[in-house]
Structure 1
Amino acid sequence: PFDEPGDSVQEVWRKINEDTPLHPAQQLTMMTGEQAEAIALARQSRLKPLIRTLSEDLDAIIMKAISRDRERRYESVTAFYDDLDALLEHKPVAAQQQDFTYLAGKFIRRHIGLAIASSLLLTALAVGLVAWSGEAKRANQEAARASREAQQANQALEESRELVNFMVTLFGSTAKESGAPERMTTEEMLNLGAARIQNTETMDPLSRARLQSLLGEVYFKLFMENEAEQMVQQALATRIDLLGEEHVLVADSKGQLGAIYANEMRIDEAEPLLLEAMATAQGATTQDLEVIASIWEALGNLYWVQVRHDEARDALERALEIRQVKMGRTDEFALAAALSSLGVLHMELEEFARAEPYLEQAAEIRVRRLGNSIDTAKTLHNLAEAENQIGRMSDSAAHYRQAFEVYAAVEGREDGEALRALDGLMRAFTRAGRYEEGLLVGQRALEIRERRYGPDSEELIQNLVSMGINQGYTGDLDAARLQLERALSLANRYLPPTSRNTGAVQDALAWLAWQEGNYEEALERHQALL
């Protein structure tokens, strides 16, 4: 899991003891497309199914086998073999959490015919019992409703399969037609795909609208608002024409469009459109909780940027309630986003104690479901900041360290966010009185910054100040003086005397002078700050 030739023995030993190894699927996704496809081909598979396979039971088995925690590793080679054997026979493996959903899924996969027959038998018995109880009319109504829902589910499943197959064919053929698929950018691929969707005359109009809606969402997530708006407008026009103004899919498209307008700060257009979408979604004959939750989230974000914090909090809490309670946590990725949004809002309002539980839940989901990703790192970083503010220094330090490791795995150790996580870890150690540990972290951050920015960069100033303070607390006043004087030299070179960073350096030097017994210098520096 630590394949980095050129590292010294000491560095390899440190990684084994300190760094979290990448999961198998993560290692595959971090490779170049050509490398990953070659590995998939060698295993007589395609890339996405191989990643999915590596992300399930096999992932849990491997991570259990190489865990640094002896209590979490397999007790014996036999136990390891038994789990591999269970994997091949689609039986539950000991490395996974043995909850009902997991065990039921394994049973159904092994006995799919029996599961279907049992389901049909139970349904028949349930209907028979209801009729036997004298509620035949209601039973017939329920049966009709169940039949309609089953038909809708089958239709949705068939539509999803059709759309997935179309998308695979679409982008595969589009890439080939481009003449140079290996050099195509994401934007070029999406634009060619959008044109092909528009020009495919045999496609059902509602299927085309759904694909346009999906492409609009992808464009939006890539900050390509003009293309996103065009796709969603086309989907909206088709849905209104074929389904009427009051259909839930029309509300979905209006909600998407409102979110795009809000992101472009077209407030006067965004708010009425989102309110109209909400009224349609809540009044539709067939309600879609996902659509309603998404519109509440778009409204919450709109109110947030307008500094209407009470309304933003209310809207985001409504969305969270739908996802957490009414939808039963069925979409954990969307649930994590909802939790994170509320946590960050409370942090912005300096309500750190209220932010912490939201961020803790979001971090748990993202660590478990996303692994090493930017969203995971940001959530861990925000959680560490909240814990720092409420005095939970041990938890804060652990989450700063975890955030750094994830940032480093995704973006590299010299990434700016990774360095800020290290700065946070040093502050947490300082506040907890763990000055020696703070110094070690500060030295590590300083070495990375010197490699990235050079030894005379403005980027070193805050790092040097933090290290000087830690050295002062350990009693090494001479070393502290050297660090702070170096920080002051850089501040004088790059910053005006009234800047915040220059003031921080002067304040730290005044504190150090007081520790040294140089009270006159301390007084002069404090007076200069005033």
Structure 2
Amino acid sequence: MRLYEESTTTYALALGKDAALVGVELIKLGRAQALCGELALAHQTYTRGLDIVRRHFGPDGAPVAEGLTCLGALLVQRLELDAAVAALQEALRIRRLADPQDPQLAYLYQKTAEACAMKREPQAEAYFLLAIEAYHTNAKTEPVQRTYASDVLDDLGLFYVDFQHYDKAERCFKQALDLRLELLGDHHATVAYSYSNFALLYLLREALEDCERMARAALELYAKTARTNTLAQADVYTVLGQCLHKKKAHAAALESLEKALNHRRLHGESAEQAVAESLNYIARVLLAMRRVGRAAAHVREARRIAFRLNQLLTEALRAEIEKTERMLPPLEEWTAADHAEAGDPPSPLPDPNAEAPKEASEKESPGPPG
């Protein structure tokens, strides 16, 4: 990032702050800032760079398409999805106008599909399919691009899962796994990701034995190939925990879900929604174990997190949290231990062996009004 800062400053001093080369360099600097997690700063840098390159290259210039591509990907990260789709579609228009076979179209189709899928828009399917086709076309001259197609196939499969099109999802997951086994072998971390997706599919189909088998295979392979990829492992532990919950192996389910929660907490704000999801699943298991207080504490924290995040992206999670809350028994049925575990101890319960206060015991109950 420092190198791009220095080069941008050098060009600005030598050529003027509004020179074309400064605009191009600003877009490169913005990309470096985004990679370093400086998303707000990167947004400002992209905007400045785009203003300059539009003036020099016109609205259809290649540097404009590059800047819009970077900006669109950044906006997806920031969950500004409407603006992201608009930027990416404009970049697509420019590149297709210049060259309908531009290899960069594959990535643009993929990012546009991701943004549309996050909004649960049906047009995401078309963009995913265009991306897969484009990556296969690119692979004729650059074979490694077939592996990129496998990533898009997984994303398309998960999109189908979201709409309960399980047969279509299975075909996508199988194609992705076959590509990975062919190109990367059976001891690659992305194969573990394929196993994880199959585990999710089997969970939703209630094929619990197959789900557990695939989840454990994914965890075993991650342990060998990508031990540091804790977020991916957390997803598998989450699926495995739900599977074990359905099999009524509650202690094992709780252990698995707590591992997922611990992994997700390590990633801070970037995994907040996943943390809320884990808390809600744990609450369900605790309710099955009659640990009402702990369940209430977990679902309360899940609500605190989920209901301050983007409403569009957490709509389904919010509904699941509210469902868990309805599963809690009425407060009057809670024990003192339940209240203590929930973190809100009740008023002391009366001691049945204690003597009544003297003034109350000597006072006669009033009779009916005369």
**Same topology, TM > 0.5:** yes
Contact 2:96/2:102 (<8 A) preserved: no
Report the counterpart of residue 335 of structure 1 in structure 2. Answer: 233
Displacement of 1:225? 4.0
Q: Which has the higher contact order (CA 8 A, sep 6+)?
A: 2
1:210 aligns with 2:113: no
Q: Which amino acid aligns with 1:363?
A: L
Contact 2:68/2:90 (<8 A) preserved: no
| Separation in 2, partners of 1:377, 1:238 | 37
Q: Which amino acid aligns with 1:213?
A: Q
The 5 Å alignment of 1:208-247 reads 208-227=105-124, 229-243=125-139, 247=146
Instruction: Pick the aligned partner of 1:278 from 177, 180, 186.
Output: 177
Contact 2:282/2:298 (<8 A) preserved: yes
Displacement of 1:223? 1.9
Contact 1:388/1:428 (<8 A) preserved: no
Displacement of 1:189? 4.5
Gaps of 5+ in 1: 1-44, 55-164, 176-181, 443-469, 477-530
1:305 aligns with 2:204: yes
Residue 202 and residue 395 in structure 1: after superposition, are their counterparts in 2 closer, same or farther (change >3 A)? same
For each residue in 1:18-67, what CA deviation from the matched residue of structure 2 results, as whole angstroms up to 9, or x when unmatched? xxxxxxxxxxxxxxxxxxxxxxxxxxx99x7699479xxxxxxxxxxxxx
Report the counterpart of residue 375 of structure 1 in structure 2. Answer: 274
| Separation in 2, partners of 1:272, 1:222 | 23
Residue 374 and residue 267 in structure 1: after superposition, are their counterparts in 2 closer, same or farther (change >3 A)? closer
Q: Which amino acid aligns with 1:347?
A: H
Report the counterpart of residue 399 of structure 1 in structure 2. Answer: 298
1:434 aligns with 2:333: no
| Separation in 2, partners of 1:219, 1:346 | 33
Displacement of 1:327? 1.1
Instruction: Pick the aligned partner of 1:386 from 274, 285, 288.
Output: 285
Partner SS state of residue 328, structure 1: coil
| Separation in 2, partners of 1:218, 1:405 | 26
| Separation in 1, partners of 2:120, 2:81 | 21
Q: Which amino acid aligns with 1:361?
A: K
| Separation in 2, partners of 1:51, 1:425 | 43
TM-score, structure 1 as length reference? 0.43
For each residue in 1:277-312, what CA deviation from the matched residue of structure 2 results, as whole angstroms up to 9, or x when unmatched? 322311225778343233223322332333222222
Larger Rg: 1
Q: Which amino acid aligns with 1:231?
A: Y
Q: Would you say how many aligned residue pairs link Structure 1 and Structure 2?
A: 284
Displacement of 1:316? 2.6
| Separation in 2, partners of 1:431, 1:290 | 46
| Separation in 1, partners of 2:343, 2:169 | 50
For each residue in 1:174-207, what CA deviation from the matched residue of structure 2 results, as whole angstroms up to 9, or x when unmatched? 99xxxxxx995555445445444544539951x4
Contact 2:135/2:149 (<8 A) preserved: yes
Residue 233 and residue 355 in structure 1: after superposition, are their counterparts in 2 closer, same or farther (change >3 A)? same
Residue 421 and residue 212 in structure 1: after superposition, are their counterparts in 2 closer, same or farther (change >3 A)? same
Q: Which amino acid aligns with 1:300?
A: A
Displacement of 1:319? 2.5
Contact 1:274/1:299 (<8 A) preserved: yes
| Separation in 2, partners of 1:221, 1:193 | 19
Higher alpha-carbon deviation: 427-436 or 312-321: 427-436
Q: Which amino acid aligns with 1:369?
A: H
Displacement of 1:339? 1.8
| Separation in 2, partners of 1:348, 1:224 | 31
Instruction: Pick the aligned partner of 1:347 from 217, 239, 245.
Output: 245
Report the counterpart of residue 248 of structure 1 in structure 2. Answer: 147
Report the counterpart of residue 314 of structure 1 in structure 2. Answer: 213
| % identity of equivalent residues | 17
Contact 2:237/2:257 (<8 A) preserved: yes
Contact 2:81/2:115 (<8 A) preserved: no
| Separation in 2, partners of 1:326, 1:204 | 34
For each residue in 1:382-412, what CA deviation from the matched residue of structure 2 results, as whole angstroms up to 9, or x when unmatched? 2233234336667546534533443455489
| Separation in 2, partners of 1:226, 1:220 | 8
CA RMSD of aligned residues (A): 4.9
Displacement of 1:369? 0.9
